[in-house]
Structure 1
Amino acid sequence: MFNRRQFLAAGGATALAGTWPTLAWSQSLETARVVVGFPAGGTTDAVSRRLADKMRSGYAKVALVENKAGAGGRLAAEMVKSSPNDGSTLLLTPASIITLYPHIFTKLTYKIEDFTPVSTACIAVFGFGVGPMVPDSVKTLQDYLAWAKANPGKASFGSPGAGTPPHFLGALLAKGSGVELQHVPYRGSAPGIQDLIGGQVGGFSGPIGDFLPHLKTGKLRMLATSGHQRTPFAPDVPTYSEQGFKNIEFVEWYGVFLPGKASPEVVQRAAAAVKAAVTSPDVIEGLATLGLEASANTPEQLKKAVATENAAWGPVVKTVGFTPEA
C-alpha cells in the first residue's frame, strides 16, 4: 500500500520542511476558483475554504470555493480539465480521484496528464471503527474479526463509497483475515457514521477525522488506523500493521492541481500560494481539528508522488478483486 514513508520518498514533504518557490509576482488574478468535487460541509470542502481564505489578496483579489459535487469527485476533475490555463481555476482533491480512479473506471473522461501538479495541502490516515452493534468486549481488530466470524449476519462494514480507499482497506482486512465482511457503501462518510452510531452497521472504514468527535463521547470505538505509525490525533489506537496486517498501510494526500497546459510561471505562482497557506499556523491548527496534517511540496515532487501512487493502486485493485465500473 501507499504509506507515509513512500509518500515522503516520492516527494512528499511536511508543511515546515523542503524548498518551495517564493510568493513573488507583479499582479494578482482578479478571481480564482478552488473547485471541490464534494458537497459543502465535508472534509475536502473544509480544506478548500481554508486554502481559498489564505489566497485572497495575494494570489487573487477574490478567491472562491466552487463545489462541483457528483460522481465521486469526477465532475470537478472534468470541469478543471477544461478550464483556462491562466491559474484562475484550481482543483483541490483527494489523491484517489487522480491516482486510483484510472484503475476502476473503464470510461474515465480524464487522464493523469490532463492536470498539472501544484502541491499537496494536507495528508490523512483512515480508521476502522465500530459502534453499538458490536459488544463492548470487542477492543481490537482480532476481537472484531472473531465476533464477525461468529455473527455472519452482522459482519458488515461501511465506507464512504464503493471504490474509495477506505473500501479497499476494509476489503484487504477481510481478505487478509479470511473473514467474510459485507461491504455497505454510503454516499460519503456522514451517513455511514450516523448508521454506525445508530447500530445499523457493525463497522466503518473512513477518515479518522470523522471518528474523532464521537470517540470523546464514547459512542464509537476506533480499532485501527492506516498509517505506518500511530497518529497523534488518536495515539491510543494501534495501526493495522501493529495488529498483524502488514499490507494495510495507507495515507491519502489532498492535492492541488491546475489544468494540464498551465505554464511553468503559473504553476510556480500557485505552488507558492499553497505553501504560504498551509504553513500558516492557523491553517495547521484548523486542519488538525479535522484529523489532517498540513503538508506542502513542489510541483515536481507532487508529480512523482502521483506516478508512484498510481502504480501502487493497480496490484491492490487486483488483489481485492474489485470489478472496474464503466
Structure 2
Amino acid sequence: MISRRFFIAAGAATLTGARSALAQSTYPDHTMRILVGYPAGGGVDLVARLVADPMREVLGQPVIVENRAGAAAMIAAQAVAKAGNDGHTLLMAASGEIAVNKHLYKEKMTYQPETELAPIALVGIVPCVVVVADASPVRTPADLIAFAKANKGKLSYSSSGVGNPQHLAGELMNKMAGTDVQHVPYRGSAPAVTDVAVGAVTMSFSSLAAALPLIQAGKIRAVAVTSRERMPQLPDVAPLSDAPGLAGYELLNWFAMFAPASSSPPILARLAEVMPQIMQRADIKEKLAIQGIVSRSMTDAELRAFVRSESDKFAGIIQEANITLGN
C-alpha cells in the first residue's frame, strides 16, 4: 500500500519543481545590470558591453553596463556580492577582484569571492605578452632566460602595477627559472610598454592590446606569451614555458561573469546555459580576439574549480615573492 507520507513527499517535490520552473521561466522580469569595477573603455568594460546586446536578445530584457570603478575593482564586486537573490545584478570581472586581491588586501576586503559570488561563464583568458625593445638581442623564450641569467640583477621588467597578473607573471618566471629581473610598476600598461621601446626598462609583461601598436610600429618585439599555447593573434611567438626551467609555466589574466551566490539555483542554471552559448558565437570570438582575449570554454563547475586553482597559484606567488601593497 502506498503510504500517505509518499503522497506528501511526492507533492512537495512536484511543488518545488514547479516553483523552480516558474522562477526560470519568468527570469528575468526587469532590466538587468552588469557591474564593472573599471572605467569605461578598459578591457573588462569592453567585454561587458560586448555581451550586453546578445544577453538582451536571448533573455528579452534590457541589459545595461554600470561602471563602479575604484578600490582595485572591489567596489563593484562587493555590490554584486551583496545584491540579493533575484539574479538581475551581475558582475563582469577580471582575475584581480576574484582571485588576487584577497591575498593582498586580506582582512580589508568586505566580501568573500568564493562564497558570495557564483561563477557563471568564462569569457576568455588574457595571456601576457613579453616584449623587449626592437634593438634587443632577445628573440625567443630561451634567449630571454639566457640573457637574464647572464645579466643577473641588472635587468628590469615593467607592468601596469603592483600585484596584478603582469607583475605576478614576472615573479613566477624569476621563481621557476632562477632569474632576478627587477619589477618596475607603472600606472597603466601604455607607459609600461612605451618605456621598453626607449630602453628605460629591459622588458615588459603586457596585455596584447597595450603592446600591439608598438609591435606593429616595429619599436618593440614580442618574444614570449605566458599561456601554455601560442596565442592565435601571435602564432609565431612561442610560450614562455618553452624556455629551459619553465616547463609547465602559465600565468594568465582572465575575464568571467559572476552572479550573487544567493541567487536561486534555477536562475544560476539559466545564466550558466545562456552565457556559454553567447561566448561561442563567431562574431563574439572575433571581437574578443581583437582585444587580445583568447576564447576558452568551461562549464560553471569547471570555472569554479579553475577560479579556486588560480587563487591558490596567485597566493603562492604573492607569498614567495613577499609582495605587499607597499612594494
Q: TM-score range by the shorter chain?
A: 0.7 to 0.9
Q: 2 CA distance for matches of 1:302 and 1:156?
A: 34
Match of 1:279 in 2: 280
Q: Does the CA-based 8 Å contact 1:91-1:257 persist in structure 2?
A: yes
User: Residue in 1 aligned with 2:173?
Assistant: 173
1:208–1:225: 8 Å Cα contact kept in structure 2? no
Cα distance, 1:29–1:199 mapped onto 2, change above 3 Å: farther
Q: 1:149: Cα distance to partner? A: 6.8
**In structure 2, do the counterparts of structure 1 residues 175 and 303 end up closer, same or farther at CA, with 3 Å as the change threshold?**
closer
String of CA shifts for 1:105-159, please: whole Å, max 9, x gaps: 2222221211112111112211211236xx3433234545566677789722111
Aligned-partner residue type, residue 128 of structure 2: F
Verify the 8 A CA contact 1:274 1:296 in the aligned structure 2: no
Greater Cα shift, 40-49 or 101-110:
101-110
**What displacement does 1:42 show?**
1.5
Q: 1:142 to 1:242 in 2, by over 3 A?
A: closer
Aligned to 1:6: none
Stretch deviating more after TM superposition (155-164 or 123-132) = 123-132
Secondary structure of 1:30's partner? coil
List alignment gaps of at least 5 residues for structure 1: 1-23
Q: TM-score, normalised by structure 1?
A: 0.82
Structure with greater Cα Rg: 2
- Of 115, 126, 130, which aligns to 1:124? 126
Residue 213 of structure 1 deviates from its aligned partner by 3.4
Task: For 2:288 and 2:277, locate their aligned partners in 1 and report how far apart those are by CA, in whole Å.
Answer: 15
Contact preservation (8 Å) 1:174, 1:181 = yes
CA distance in 1, matches of 2:25, 2:321: 48
Residue type at the aligned position of 2:228: H
Match of 1:307 in 2: 308
Between the two proteins, what is the percent identity of the paired residues? 34
Which among 114, 117, 127 is matched to residue 116 of structure 2? Answer: 114
CA separation in 2, counterparts of 1:256 and 1:203? Answer: 32
Size of the alignment, in residue pairs?
A: 301
Q: TM-score, normalised by structure 2?
A: 0.82
The CA deviation string for residues 17-70 of structure 1, in whole angstroms up to 9 with x for no partner, is xxxxxxx73454321111111111111111111111211243252111112112
1:233 is aligned to 233
Q: What is the distance in 2 between the residues matched to 1:313 and 1:152? A: 25
Q: Higher relative contact order at CA 8 Å, sep ≥6: structure 1 or structure 2?
A: 1
Offset of residue 228 of structure 1: 1.6
Does the CA-based 8 Å contact 1:29-1:59 persist in structure 2?
no
Q: CA deviation at 1:163?
A: 0.8
2:256 is aligned to 255
Shift of 1:198: 4.4
Which piece of structure 1 moves more, 187-196 or 236-245?
187-196
What is the SS of the residue equivalent to 1:100?
helix
1: CA distance, partners of 2:152 / 2:304: 43
Name the structure where helix makes up a greater proportion of residues.
2
Per-residue CA deviation, residues 182-203 of structure 1 (Å, 9 max, x unaligned), is 2122233233233334444332
